[in-house]
Amino acid sequence: MTGPAHPPTSKGPAETFTGDVYVDTIARGEGPSRLRVSVVRFTPSARTAWHRHPVGQTLYVLEGKGWVQTRGEAVTEMRAGDVVYTPPDHWHWHGATPENFMSHLSITEVPGDGRAEVEWADHVTDEEYLAPRRS
């Protein structure tokens, strides 16, 4: 069975990303499904702004090397094959390392209560991005 045509690749907007980020929508469920799946490709040093998801977010790293951080915790390295889960309403960011590209699947849901799938906040500063990390 063939599904609907996928929309073209879009560039992540400067309001919510630092650097060059490209997004391919894989699944955008229509009621009753609320599932959202995208491939997100980050160029070296590219990253999201701080954001949170009311139903949480799962990342599956496809290739490359990146970093992820939940507010108040250490920056953590992620590599191809890693699965990273951020619980509902936890502020976090993720992106590529300065030396590597990184691609991941982003798996989220739209909440059933009318809230948006994601809430965006400030950009991650260079100081936050380059903070000490654990692998």
HEC letters along the chain: CCCCCCCCCEECCCCCEECCEEEEEEEECCCCCCEEEEEEEECCCCEECCEECCCCEEEEEEEEEEEEEECCCCEEEEECCCEEEECCCCCEEEEECCCCCEEEEEEEECCCCCCCCCEECCCCCHHHHCCCEEC
Number of domains composing the chain: 1
Q: Is residue 127 part of a domain?
A: no
Residues spanned by the domain of 87: 14-111
Residue-level pLDDT at 115: 85
pTM for the complete prediction?
Answer: 0.91
Q: pLDDT digit string (tens) for 45-70? A: 999 999 999 999 999 999 999 999 99
Residue-level pLDDT at 62: 98
pLDDT at 1 over 60: no
Q: Is residue 47 part of a domain?
A: yes
Residue-level pLDDT at 5: 66
CATH of the domain at 56: 2.60.120.10
